[in-house]
């Protein structure tokens, strides 16, 4: 970040790109891309709409970090610090998924999602 | 840590009052509220968190009074729920988290590294204002009827089924989080960029390493609690399904996100205490720390591993047992760097020239109490024993041994150690030792019976209990009243000492470290000349380190 001057043109370009991507996010929300059925036990269904929305969001985030936050022009130390943030986000997501995706494996307990349709009518019948 | 500069201390012979220092450099409310001096901001924090400590302590006293009788002696069960919630929220977020970093850290980080201030002095002042705004929201919640979710804000207590002031309380915690982030950021930049010439990383006092590790957690963890509470607010206000299963959410997701911050936050509370410990143990045993690099890196190891263990809070809440297995193993791992520290402090004491001044009494208390708190944590990290102990008083006792027996003991030890530096005055040593003893006895009497109660199966957070638990509960309540008095004694004599205490001199303990090589209280700019460091930390072997 040490005194690097970014031309106004670049800022404007990024700003327009962000606006376009926002419009794109809104637009694709009206299109049903359907699901991918993987056949893998851990992740059986991937909703494509979520994947597309997240992909656009990631591009927007990268534009902000690299240009508006000047990380593209910063020292290696700053880049490492930024990447550490992502590493810890990855830890949060992956360990949470380690729970969410394997909850249904234990037949007795049942995952929350599998148990809910059974439990809710039972509870309703009680009251 | 010896230096080549300031051979004759300018304030050594002159009474503190006749010399310009950070306390008398300017007067008036404005000079305090608009100060950017890290030492004054430390004192602003000291006043604020002391107030919050006694507010939180007041709730604890009410709880313990209530539990003298099996059917509850004092308040309705709903009020009891609010008491333990407000006690937890205030003590965790408004006392323990900022306690050592914002007071001793703010005061000492620049002084220990030979700098004139933190890297961002105005950001530092802003962090105090943010803290005050957050505290105001939470105190408003107390006055407007309180909150009853427990300090963890677990859904659905805090979402579907709560009709108390969840939003103002959560908002208060959310806002205060930013004050932690700013403090952490300030410390990291300061430690990287503003060390005195010759002060290499491995010559830094271990307090600085501990503050650095704490700052990392502040920066990486605190945003997650902010996001979590923000999502909670969104769900309550806009009914977006995030944590409420009725509208497509998952309540355990809340626990994941909450503990991703709040478990590392436990280490935010204890790591600075460990930093204080390394300073106290070395000074009062007149020895170099045993295994400097191990102690330094164990702080970083704790900071990193602390982010990988949060699931041990959720073994019995519906988390997948497979995830539980991983979290259990990782939780055992975090015990290793903690044990490294305890063993190294003990090894430092070996053949040391030990003196039992008040700060050292707190330090020795810390070693014993923290060890008990840590070892009982291993019971809770084991999947099988946790099923029995989770949600009982065993947990309450365990984390109070860490938080109060560990963090608060270290905080008080640190305050007593650096009080002469902060104020330029000594406190009555006899009273200080007496208070340390009263606190140690009161603490153990309060919380040891709770281990037994929990093991016998008394659940936490209950306003009533079976009569067979009464004796242990009365013991615990008696201990709490002793502990309460123990905390009031230092408040009185420390305030007394500001006006009437004997002049301390620059280095009353004969301690090593740059902060002791400047007058007490220090001048606004800390050092007349920036010192040059030529030796390692804790160089007690050289030049005797005799006491003034």
State pLDDT tens for residues B162-191: 778 888 898 999 999 999 999 999 999 999
CB contact under 8 A, A95 and B220: no
Instruction: Flag whether B342 is in a domain.
Output: yes
A chain contacts of residue B307, beta-carbon cutoff 8 Å: 88, 91
Element (H, E) at B57: helix B38-66
Instruction: Flag whether B531 is in a domain.
Output: no
Instruction: Flag whether B523 is in a domain.
Output: no
B chain contacts of residue A112, beta-carbon cutoff 8 Å: 245, 250, 252, 318
pTM: 0.89
State residue B264's pLDDT score: 92
Is B260 near chain A, with CB under 8 Å?
A: yes
Q: Which of A29-38, B171-180, B534-543 has the highest mean pLDDT?
A: B171-180
Instruction: Flag whether B195 is in a domain.
Output: yes
B chain contacts of residue A91, beta-carbon cutoff 8 Å: 307-308
CB contact under 8 A, A109 and B256: no
Assigned token pair, A63: 């534009």
Q: Locate the chain A residue with the closest alpha carbon to B309.
A: A95
A chain contacts of residue B252, beta-carbon cutoff 8 Å: 99, 112
Q: Residue B323: which of A88, A102, A109 has the nearest Cβ?
A: A102
CA atoms of B535 and B512, how far apart (whole Å): 11
Mutation site for B-interface testing, chosen from A81, A99, A102 by largest number of B Cβ within 10 Å:
A99
Q: What percent of chain B has pLDDT over 70?
A: 95
CB contact under 8 A, A109 and B308: no
CA atoms of B413 and B436, how far apart (whole Å): 9
B chain contacts of residue A105, beta-carbon cutoff 8 Å: 320, 322
Sign (positive or negative) of CA dihedral B527, B533, B536, B542 = negative
CA atoms of B262 and B538, how far apart (whole Å): 33
State pLDDT tens for residues B301-358: 999 999 999 999 999 988 888 899 999 999 999 999 999 999 999 999 999 999 999 9
pLDDT at B113 over 70: yes
- 3-state DSSP assignment of residue B533: strand
Q: Residue B308: which of A91, A99, A105 has the nearest Cβ?
A: A91
Give the DSSP per-residue string, A60-103: HHHHIIIIIT-GGGS-HHHHHHHHHHHHHHHHHHHHHHHHHTTG
Which CATH number does the domain housing residue B334 bear? Answer: 1.20.210.10
Boundaries of domain holding B105: 16-517
State pLDDT tens for residues B433-461: 999 999 999 999 999 999 999 999 999 99
Residue appearing with tokens 């505290």: B135
Q: Residue A102: which of B260, B322, B327 has the nearest Cβ?
A: B322
CB contact under 8 A, B311 and A95: yes
Assigned token pair, B253: 């997701």
- B401 with B343: CB under 8 angstroms? no
State residue B12's pLDDT score: 47
Mutation site for A-interface testing, chosen from B224, B256, B309 by largest number of A Cβ within 10 Å:
B256
Mean model confidence pLDDT for chain B:
91
State pLDDT tens for residues B407-420: 999 999 999 999 99
CA atoms of B77 and B406, how far apart (whole Å): 30
Chain-centroid distance, C-alpha A9: 30
CA atoms of B54 and B75, how far apart (whole Å): 20
Instruction: Flag whether B380 is in a domain.
Output: yes
The count of structural domains within chain B is 1
- 3-state DSSP assignment of residue A114: helix
Across the A/B interface, how many CB contacts are shorter than 8 Å? Answer: 55
- DSSP-derived secondary structure letter, B527: -
List b or e across B460-486, with b for residues whose CB sees 16 or more CB atoms inside 10 angstroms: beebebeeebeebbebbbbbbebbbeb
Helix count (H) and strand count (E) of chain A?
A: 4, 2
B459 forms bridges with which residues in the sheet?
B392
State residue B547's pLDDT score: 47
Q: Residue A112: which of B250, B314, B322 has the nearest Cβ?
A: B250
Q: Locate the chain A residue with the closest alpha carbon to B248.
A: A113
Mutation site for B-interface testing, chosen from A92, A113, A118 by largest number of B Cβ within 10 Å:
A92
State residue B548's pLDDT score: 43
At B197, give phi and psi (nearest 5°): -55, 135
Give the DSSP per-residue string, B179-196: HHHHHHHHHHHHHHH-PP
Q: Where are the domains of chain A?
A: 1-74, 77-127
A chain contacts of residue B253, beta-carbon cutoff 8 Å: 96, 100
pLDDT at B5 over 50: no
CB contact under 8 A, B307 and A91: yes
State pLDDT tens for residues B78-89: 999 999 999 999
CA atoms of B380 and A31, how far apart (whole Å): 49
Instruction: Flag whether B548 is in a domain.
Output: no
The ipTM estimated for the assembled molecules is 0.83
Instruction: Flag whether B493 is in a domain.
Output: yes
Q: Work out the angle at residue B434's Cα, subtended by the Cα atoms of residues B433 and B436, and round it to the nearest 5 degrees.
A: 65
State pLDDT tens for residues B374-406: 999 999 999 999 999 999 999 999 999 999 999
B392 forms bridges with which residues in the sheet?
B459
B chain contacts of residue A95, beta-carbon cutoff 8 Å: 256, 308, 310-311, 323, 326-327
CA atoms of B506 and B100, how far apart (whole Å): 22
Q: Residue A112: which of B311, B318, B326 has the nearest Cβ?
A: B318
Instruction: Flag whether B528 is in a domain.
Output: no
- pLDDT-based confidence at residue B8 (cuts at 50, 70, 90): very low
């Amino acid at each position: 970040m040490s005194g690097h001057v970014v031309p106004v043109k670049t800022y404007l370009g990024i700003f327009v790109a962000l606006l376009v991507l926002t419009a794109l996010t809104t637009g694709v929300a009206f299109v049903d891309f359907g699901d991918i059925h993987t056949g893998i036990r851990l992740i059986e269904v991937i909703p494509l709409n979520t994947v597309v929305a997240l992909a656009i969001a990631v591009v927007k985030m990268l534009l902000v970090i690299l240009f508006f936050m000047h990380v593209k022009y910063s020292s290696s130390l700053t880049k490492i610090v930024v990447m550490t943030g992502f590493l810890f986000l990855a830890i949060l997501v992956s360990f949470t998924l380690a729970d969410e995706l394997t909850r249904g494996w234990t037949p007795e307990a049942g995952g929350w999602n599998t148990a809910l349709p059974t439990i809710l009518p039972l509870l309703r019948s009680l009251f | 840590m010896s230096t080549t500069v300031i051979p004759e201390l300018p304030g050594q012979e002159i009474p503190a009052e006749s010399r310009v220092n950070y306390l008398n450099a300017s007067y008036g409310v404005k000079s305090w509220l608009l100060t950017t001096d890290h030492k004054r901001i430390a004192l602003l924090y000291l006043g604020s968190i002391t107030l919050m400590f006694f507010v939180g302590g007041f709730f604890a006293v009410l709880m313990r009074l209530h539990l003298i009788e099996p059917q509850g002696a004092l308040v309705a069960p709903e009020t009891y729920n609010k008491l333990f919630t407000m006690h937890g929220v205030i003590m965790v977020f408004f006392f323990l988290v900022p306690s050592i970093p914002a007071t001793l850290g703010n005061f000492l980080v620049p002084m220990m590294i030979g700098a004139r201030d933190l890297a961002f002095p105005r950001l530092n002042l802003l962090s105090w204002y943010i803290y005050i705004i957050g505290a105001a929201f939470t105190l408003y919640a107390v006055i407007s009827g309180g909150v009853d979710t427990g300090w963890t804000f677990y859904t659905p207590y805090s979402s579907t089924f709560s009709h108390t002031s969840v939003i103002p309380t959560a908002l208060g915690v959310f806002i205060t989080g930013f004050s932690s982030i700013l403090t952490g950021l300030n410390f990291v930049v300061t430690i990287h960029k503003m060390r005195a010439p010759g002060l290499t990383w491995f010559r830094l006092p271990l307090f600085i390493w501990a503050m650095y590790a704490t700052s990392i957690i502040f920066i990486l963890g605190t945003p997650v609690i902010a996001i979590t509470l923000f999502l909670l607010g969104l769900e309550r206000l806009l009914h977006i399904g995030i944590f409420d299963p009725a509208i497509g959410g998952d309540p355990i997701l809340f626990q994941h996100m909450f503990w991703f911050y709040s478990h590392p936050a436990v280490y935010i509370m204890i790591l600075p205490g460990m930093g204080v410990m390394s300073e106290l143990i070395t000074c009062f045993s007149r020895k170099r720390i045993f295994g400097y690099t191990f102690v330094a890196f164990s702080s970083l190891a704790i900071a990193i591993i602390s982010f990988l263990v949060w699931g041990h809070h959720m073994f019995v809440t519906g988390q997948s047992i497979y995830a539980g297995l991983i979290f259990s193993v990782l939780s055992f791992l975090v015990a290793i760097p903690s044990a490294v520290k305890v063993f190294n402090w003990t090894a430092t004491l070996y053949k040391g020239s030990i003196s039992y001044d008040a700060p050292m009494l707190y330090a020795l208390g810390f070693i014993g109490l923290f060890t008990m708190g840590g070892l009982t944590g291993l019971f809770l990290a084991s999947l099988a024993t946790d099923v029995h102990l989770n949600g009982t008083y065993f947990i309450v006792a365990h984390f109070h041994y860490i938080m109060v027996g560990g963090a608060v003991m270290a905080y008080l030890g640190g305050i007593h150690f650096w009080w002469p530096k902060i104020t330029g005055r000594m406190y009555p040593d006899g009273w200080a030792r007496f208070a340390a003893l009263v606190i140690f006895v009161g603490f153990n009497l309060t919380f040891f019976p709770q281990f037994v109660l929990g093991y016998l199966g008394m659940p936490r957070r209950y306003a009533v209990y079976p009569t067979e638990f009464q004796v242990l509960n009365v013991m615990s309540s008696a201990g709490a009243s002793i502990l309460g008095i123990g905390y009031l004694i230092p408040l009185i004599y420390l305030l007394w000492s500001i006006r009437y205490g004997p002049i301390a001199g620059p280095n009353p303990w004969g301690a090593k470290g740059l902060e002791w090589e400047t007058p007490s209280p220090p001048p606004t700019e800390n050092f007349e000349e920036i010192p040059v460091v030529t030796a390692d930390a804790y160089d007690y072997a050289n030049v005797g380190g005799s006491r003034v």
